[in-house]
């Protein structure tokens, strides 16, 4: 939030207490990852080595500086009787669902869990947990979101979405650095198309602002390549309603930049990144189906009419070097793209189809622990081990759970979703976006 101090205060040596601004950055990088080994030395940085937090400010003048060694000497241990290194080794193994409670124990624990040092260790040791985040539009047009913990099989409370996205249409959603969920663009029902960008930090459960996009747009396509966020096409009010333009956000530079324009203006309705290329299919200004492919390394677009584009449909996902798409409305049949033959072939069939209603419609594919997760509008989740196509999809809808529990093929991944979220009175909304965040 921008603040400007009066001239008299800027020229004075007096220091007043102010509220630290939000971090206007995609991510924070902890220097401890490059070799720092102690909690005292762990400090959170944003690109450009700027401190994320503001220094302590007191109302009656500058605080007396205390040497770091003296400050650490006066602090108690993280865990009585243990060196801090061993205490951290214990704390990083506490399940993610209990991290909120850890923050409440003492100031030092709260500081530890407020910095990337803690989560970098969890990630490096392979114990970071993946939660499913679902953004959905309710019957009244309002947007809500939910996070699912697959270990404890419960939905977690989340802070409200920013007001600009409480009723927005056609906005984008993507994840950078594994733990930052971005919402960008879209159309406000009263204000029109937006350039706004916000992001959610799954490690701190807080929202922040990021630099606005260069162009207002909604109903566009987006993807992530090499941890950079790309957007292309879409609509905007004005004479040039359907857009050719495309742009990219680099979190290291904290900046948006225009890239090469598409050859054909379009409103994309399906897109996927595969083999380092971004494939898009959509509708042009004459309501004709068009398709293009973008190559990031050469910053170039070209038309594409091959078998991949022909058979591409939502939802789809590139996972473990293979491209998967649904072959039925409920996602219980999957197809895989064969590069050698430029064609799609049957991959797996669960043999237990849920129907063609909107409630059972497959809304999104996600990667969960190396497996393909199928998220449906009724908030049920199916899992298929794409590394072993002989396995059936592990259906976890509450309605069929008891019928499958005796087969020993699955865990109860969404034990009470139907009753707690979707309800028993029919569909109460539909899913707009689904992402997986680590912490």
- Let me know: does 137 contact 146? Beta carbons within 8 Å: no
Query: Residue 324, Cβ neighbours under 10 Å: how many?
Result: 24
Which whole number is the average pLDDT over 18-35?
Answer: 34
- Give me the residue spans of the domains in the chain: 7-124, 129-158+314-439, 162-312
* CB proximity list for 362: less than 8 A, separation 6 or greater: 315, 326, 329, 330, 331, 374, 375, 376
pLDDT at position 261 is 97
Fold category of 162-312 in CATH:
Neuraminidase (2.120.10)
Highest mean pLDDT: which range of 7-21, 326-340, 373-387: 326-340
- Name which of 7-16, 151-160, 365-374, 384-393 the model is least confident about: 7-16
Query: pLDDT digit string (tens) for 13-25?
Result: 443 343 333 333 3
pLDDT at position 279 is 97
pLDDT at position 13 is 42
Phi, psi of 403 (to 5 degrees): -70, -20
pLDDT at position 73 is 53
Highest mean pLDDT: which range of 58-62, 193-197, 310-314, 403-407: 193-197
pLDDT at position 49 is 31
Paired tokens of 97: 């669902």
Task: pLDDT band for 388, please (50, 70, 90 cuts).
Answer: low
Q: Which residue has the higher pLDDT, 331 or 181?
A: 181
* CB proximity list for 64: less than 8 A, separation 6 or greater: none
> What percent of the chain has pLDDT above 70?
74
Task: pLDDT band for 75, please (50, 70, 90 cuts).
Answer: confident
Task: pLDDT band for 255, please (50, 70, 90 cuts).
Answer: very high
User: CA-to-CA distance for 30 and 259, rounded, in angstroms?
Assistant: 30
User: CA-to-CA distance for 143 and 431, rounded, in angstroms?
Assistant: 10
Q: Which residue has the higher pLDDT, 73 or 9?
A: 73
Which whole number is the average pLDDT over 81-106?
Answer: 94
pLDDT at position 138 is 92
Q: What is the pTM of this model?
A: 0.78
To the nearest 10 degrees (0 to 180), the angle between helices 84-91 and 116-124 is 70
pLDDT at position 421 is 38
pLDDT at position 354 is 84
pLDDT of 286 above 90: yes
Reference 158, options 212, 111, 200; nearest CA is: 200
| DSSP for residue 50 | E
Q: Which DSSP string do the residues of 92-160 spell out, in sequence order? A: TTS-GGGHHHHHTT-HHHHHHHTSHHHHHHHHHTT-PPEEEEEEEEETTS-EEEEEEETTTTEEEP-PP
Task: pLDDT band for 120, please (50, 70, 90 cuts).
Answer: very high
Q: Which residue has the higher pLDDT, 424 or 406?
A: 424
pLDDT of 40 above 80: no
- Name which of 30-44, 106-120, 199-213, 245-259 the model is least confident about: 30-44
| DSSP for residue 57 | -
Query: pLDDT digit string (tens) for 163-189?
Result: 999 999 999 999 999 999 999 999 999
pLDDT at position 429 is 85
pLDDT at position 76 is 83
Query: pLDDT digit string (tens) for 294-326?
Result: 999 999 999 988 999 999 999 999 999 999 999
Average pLDDT of the chain, as a whole number: 79
Task: pLDDT band for 389, please (50, 70, 90 cuts).
Answer: low
pLDDT at position 72 is 52
pLDDT of 39 above 90: no
pLDDT at position 135 is 97
- Compute the half-sphere exposure of residue 28: CA atoms within 13 Å on the CB side of its CA: 27
pLDDT of 26 above 50: no
Q: Which residue has the tokens 């003048």?
A: 61
Which whole number is the average pLDDT over 74-79?
Answer: 82
pLDDT at position 102 is 94
- Let me know: does 169 contact 187? Beta carbons within 8 Å: yes
Which whole number is the average pLDDT over 135-153?
Answer: 91
Query: Residue 420, Cβ neighbours under 10 Å: how many?
Result: 14
pLDDT at position 238 is 74
């Amino acid at each position: 939030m921008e603040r400007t101090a009066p001239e008299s205060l800027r020229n004075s040596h007096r220091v007043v207490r102010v509220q630290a601004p939000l971090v206007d950055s995609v991510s924070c990088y902890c220097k401890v990852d490059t070799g720092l080994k102690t909690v005292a030395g762990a400090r959170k940085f944003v690109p450009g080595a700027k401190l994320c937090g503001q220094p302590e400010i007191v109302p009656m003048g500058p605080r007396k500086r205390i040497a770091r060694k003296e400050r650490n000497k006066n602090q108690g241990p993280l865990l009585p009787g243990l060196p801090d290194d061993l205490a951290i080794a214990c704390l990083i193994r506490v399940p993610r669902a209990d991290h909120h409670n850890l923050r409440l124990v003492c100031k030092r624990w709260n500081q530890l869990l407020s910095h990337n040092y803690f989560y970098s260790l969890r990630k490096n040791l392979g114990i970071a947990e993946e939660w499913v985040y679902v953004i959905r539009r309710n019957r009244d047009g309002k947007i809500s979101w939910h996070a699912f913990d697959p270990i404890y099989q419960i939905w977690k409370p989340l802070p409200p979405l920013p007001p600009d996205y409480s009723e927005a249409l056609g906005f984008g959603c993507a994840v950078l650095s594994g733990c930052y969920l971005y919402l960008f663009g879209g159309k406000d029902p009263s204000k029109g198309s937006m350039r706004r960008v916000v992001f959610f930090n799954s490690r701190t459960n807080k929202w922040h602002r990021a630099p606005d996009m260069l162009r207002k747009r909604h109903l566009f396509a987006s993807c992530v390549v090499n941890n950079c966020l790309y957007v292309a096409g879409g609509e905007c009010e004005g004479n040039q309603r359907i857009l050719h333009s495309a742009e990219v956000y680099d979190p290291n530079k904290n900046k948006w930049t225009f890239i090469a324009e598409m050859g054909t203006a379009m409103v994309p309705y399906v897109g996927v990144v595969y083999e380092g290329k971004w494939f898009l299919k959509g509708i042009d200004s004459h309501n004709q189906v068009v398709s293009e492919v973008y190559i990031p390394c050469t910053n170039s677009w070209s038309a594409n009419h091959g078998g991949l584009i022909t058979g591409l449909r939502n939802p789809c996902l590139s996972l473990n070097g293979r491209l998967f798409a649904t072959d039925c409305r409920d996602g219980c049949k999957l197809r895989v793209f064969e590069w050698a033959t430029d064609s799609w072939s049957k991959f797996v069939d669960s043999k237990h189809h849920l129907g063609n209603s909107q409630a059972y419609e497959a809304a999104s594919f996600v990667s969960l622990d190396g497996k393909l997760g199928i998220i449906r509008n009724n908030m049920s989740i199916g899992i298929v081990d794409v590394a072993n196509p002989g396995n059936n999809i592990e259906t976890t809808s509450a309605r069929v759970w008891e019928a499958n529990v005796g087969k020993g093929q699955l865990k109860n991944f969404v034990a009470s979703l139907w009753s707690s979220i979707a309800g028993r009175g029919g569909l109460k909304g539909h899913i707009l976006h689904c992402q997986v965040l680590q912490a």
